[in-house]
Structure 1
Amino acid sequence: MALYDLNVGEVITVLGTFSFAVSGAFAAMQKRLDVFGVLIIAFATSVGGGTLRDILIGDTPVFWLKNANYSLLILITGILAMIFWKKIKMLKITLFLFDSLGLGFFTVVGLQKGLAFDLSPGICVALGTVTGCFGGIVRDVLLNNIPLIFRKEIYATACIIGGLVYLLLRYLDLDEAIVKFTAVAVVFLIRIVAVKYQLSLPRIY
């Protein structure tokens, strides 16, 4: 079972890295950055949340320094995104979808890391939220945009709800793969529904 769980965790991490790399590359191309700029933004988006998470819990060197395959995956994904972006007519929608997928995948990755370090459930949810959101914050700051997490859109809230669903399903002793991918789906669907129906948290202004 341990080996099975490890494989599922690796798949989740790879999918999250790929999703955020595409998200970062497309966001950079919207700003008309050069090739180097696109790759840097793709890299920062993919590893930003995981880097902060690993530093917070003292798991150093951080994950992408331990395994160079993640950097290679980001490089290849960024290059492919630049090659095929002209074939994708709805660049903004594609960016949104991959950002939402990355948010879900990395929320679960952060939760897994917290549980592996025997942290409390609340801290694990916080780590999942940091892992999911911080890469997007770095991306938006580097591109001189207001980060999504600070706008009226439901963003971090989706991570928190997905994290709570993950812990609940895990408590019910369901299959680990089902638990992880259900949590990812919850985060993804909350983002889709929130944007489609313009749902947001209460505003103070």
Structure 2
Amino acid sequence: MRANLYDGFFIDIGVPADFERAQTELPERVRRSAVFFDRDGVLNIDKAYVHKVEDFEWVAGAREAIKLCNDRGYLTFVVTNQAGVARGYYGIEAIQTLHDWISRDLAEIGAHIDEFQYCPYHEEGVVAEWRQASDRRKPAPGMILDCLKGWPVRKESSLLVGDMPHDLQAAAAAGIAGHLFKGGDLLSFIRPLLGANSGLIGP
């Protein structure tokens, strides 16, 4: 028999008082900071309504930026307006196919997106099914809020990277920091935003 010293968080739930304490402390301990990325213009070159794999071109340092977020323990999300669906340029299936390809391409360097969120609605769309205003379309914060509801996100230390003012407006409406990416190397841009901190909750 051997034992190891451990100085991290620990609760013995063998007694009622500690079990009760665990109900509030454990959810807080598993919360993680998150990075929300806009897609077109941040992760890939914006060529207007990109929906085909052959038209997708990574922004310099984008894959590496995602991997850095993963390695630092940040939850990593994509939140993207996709009005091309409402405008009749492509269907929902094209978005899913492209996002599946992005996931496979990221996996080749050991990176991943935890969840893709997209909004196909636009109030001026030509496709009736998608022609409406939506609280998920940036600058509304719906996509961000859905991630906050569905994942254990530590909101106060989370951030969004976008290339348009409406991205930052959505971040502000959701109560997280927004940062405007004006091009260049995304890894170099995001590294100082993460600093030396981990996205994981501390002891």
TM-score tier (shorter): 0.3 to 0.5
Bigger relative CO (Cα 8 Å, ≥ 6 apart): 2
TM-score by length of 2: 0.33
Of Structure 1 and Structure 2, the greater helix share is in 1
TM-score by length of 1: 0.33
Of Structure 1 and Structure 2, the greater strand share is in 2
